[in-house]
Amino acid sequence: MKADIHPKYARTTVTCSCGAVYRVGSTRSDLRIEVCGKCHPLYTGQQRIVDTAGRVERFKRRYGLQ
């Protein structure tokens, strides 16, 4: 195998928008996610609309949809 071609693998913190924090191994540092296992509808059984910063409304305004 070639030496020094792989990225650095370290422990990182993954933070969800619901407030859950996970420590995992990754090549990136301090990840922020919108949905995790604690708040995903598949695991919780509840419908939750994730619309950060009004994406749907911006889309409708941009393309003139009602």
The mean pLDDT value for 50-65 works out to 76
- Least trusted range by pLDDT, from 3-7, 39-43, 54-58: 39-43
Residue ranges per structural domain of the chain: 1-47
Q: Which SS3 state, helix, strand or coil, does residue 2 take? A: coil
Residues contacting 26, CB < 8 A, separation 6+: 9, 10, 12, 14
CATH of 1-47, one of 1.10.3470.10, 1.25.40.20, 4.10.80.400, 1.25.40.340: 4.10.80.400
What separation in angstroms does the CA of 37 have from each of 7, 42, 43, 51?
A: 27, 8, 6, 18
pLDDT in tens, 18-39: 889 999 999 998 999 888 878 8
The pTM (predicted TM-score) of the whole model is 0.55
